[in-house]
């Protein structure tokens, strides 16, 4: 592990396994090339993220990219998340085109230029699969953020990622159906890693949601900023405070209109009151109407 510009950089054990396998089979040049491609891919993410002011604690390099540990992750906008996610594959685009051009011009061996270009294309396309924590999974999250509330976005992302991870593992066994085919162990290992990652991600959704609420509490102002997108929510006073919080969207400020049968008309409360009700240490499953008492 090394620390550079305030970020810890480490190699994931899965990458270590790939390195050892490559060294034992004599593919050292290919291994070094893969490492450089992955490093530049991840630097693309880091540079754009730092440009948005993100605080990145650690980056773990994987054979197909990396996983970044970001502070205040619950407060990142969908737009920034999408731009940072796409920055990695874009590095593979220019690296692939450069390698292909160097090979075509005779500066590099043509076969080697095609190999490096193909490796970049493979890493870029693989990363664009809609599986968390791949770049495509983060793009999926950003898209779902415009369609669903934050809690549902987490659930849908986890379920799609688990399903596709199982599909990837299944594809690893398809060659067995063909004459002379064998199990694709690389695909099986990566699919297993993604399945385990997303199974853990699914189990941690309550924690991730409360992290989102904690950020909303820190960023809450008594009055919403002028020009800020406001999304009204109409709820029943008998609903639990937590169930109302689960309706909050990622990039919107909410005014909550509460229908209380014993009162005339609607009672209006800002989202900060709901967030405080969830994080105050009292039962978040109590009725919203109790906030008026």
Domains annotated for the chain, with CATH where assigned, are 2-212 (no CATH), 224-292 (3.90.1280.20)
Phi, psi of 61 (to 5 degrees): -85, 135
Query: How is residue 15 written in tokens?
Result: 């990458």
Query: What mean pLDDT comes out for the span 238-260?
Result: 90
102 in Cβ contact with 108 (< 8 Å): yes
Distance of CA 207 to the CA centre of its chain: 15
**What pLDDT does 144 receive?**
96
Query: What mean pLDDT comes out for the span 9-15?
Result: 76
**What pLDDT does 13 receive?**
76
Confidence category of residue 120, pLDDT binned at 50, 70, 90: very high
Q: DSSP label at 52?
A: T
Phi, psi of 38 (to 5 degrees): -65, -40
pLDDT digits (tens, 9 = 90+) for 104-117: 888 888 888 999 99
**What pLDDT does 156 receive?**
97
- Nearest in space to 194 (alpha carbons), one of 212, 221, 168: 168
pLDDT at 255 over 60: yes
- Nearest in space to 206 (alpha carbons), one of 146, 137, 140, 285: 285
Peptide bond into 133 cis (omega under 30): yes
């Amino acid at each position: 592990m090394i620390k550079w510009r305030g970020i810890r950089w480490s190699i994931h054990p899965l990458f270590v396994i790939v390195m050892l396998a490559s060294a034992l089979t004599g593919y050292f040049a290919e291994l070094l090339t893969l490492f450089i491609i992955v490093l530049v891919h991840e630097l693309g993410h880091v540079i754009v993220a730092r440009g948005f002011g993100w605080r990145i604690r650690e980056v773990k390099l994987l054979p197909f990219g990396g996983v970044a540990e970001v502070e205040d992750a619950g407060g990142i906008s969908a737009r920034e998340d999408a731009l940072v996610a796409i920055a990695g594959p874009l590095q593979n685009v220019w690296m692939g085109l450069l390698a292909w051009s160097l090979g075509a011009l005779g500066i590099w061996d043509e076969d080697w230029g095609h190999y490096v270009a193909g490796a970049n294309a493979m890493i870029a396309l693989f990363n664009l699969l809609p599986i968390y924590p791949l770049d495509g999974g983060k793009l999926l999250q950003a898209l779902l953020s415009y369609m669903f509330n934050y809690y549902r976005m987490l659930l849908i992302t986890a379920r799609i990622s688990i399903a596709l991870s199982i599909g990837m593992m299944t594809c690893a066994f398809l060659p067995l159906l063909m004459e002379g085919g064998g199990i694709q162990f690389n695909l099986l290992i990566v699919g297993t890693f993604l399945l385990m990652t997303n199974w853990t991600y699914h189990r941690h959704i309550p924690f991730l949601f409360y992290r989102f609420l904690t950020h909303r509490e820190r960023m809450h102002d008594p009055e919403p900023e002028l020009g800020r997108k406001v999304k009204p929510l109409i709820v029943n006073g008998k609903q639990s405070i937590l169930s109302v919080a689960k309706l909050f969207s990622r990039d919107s400020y909410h005014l909550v209109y509460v229908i209380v049968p014993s009162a005339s008309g609607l009672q209006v409360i800002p989202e900060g009151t709901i967030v405080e009700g969830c994080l105050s240490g009292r039962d978040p499953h109590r009725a919203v109407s109790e906030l008026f008492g």
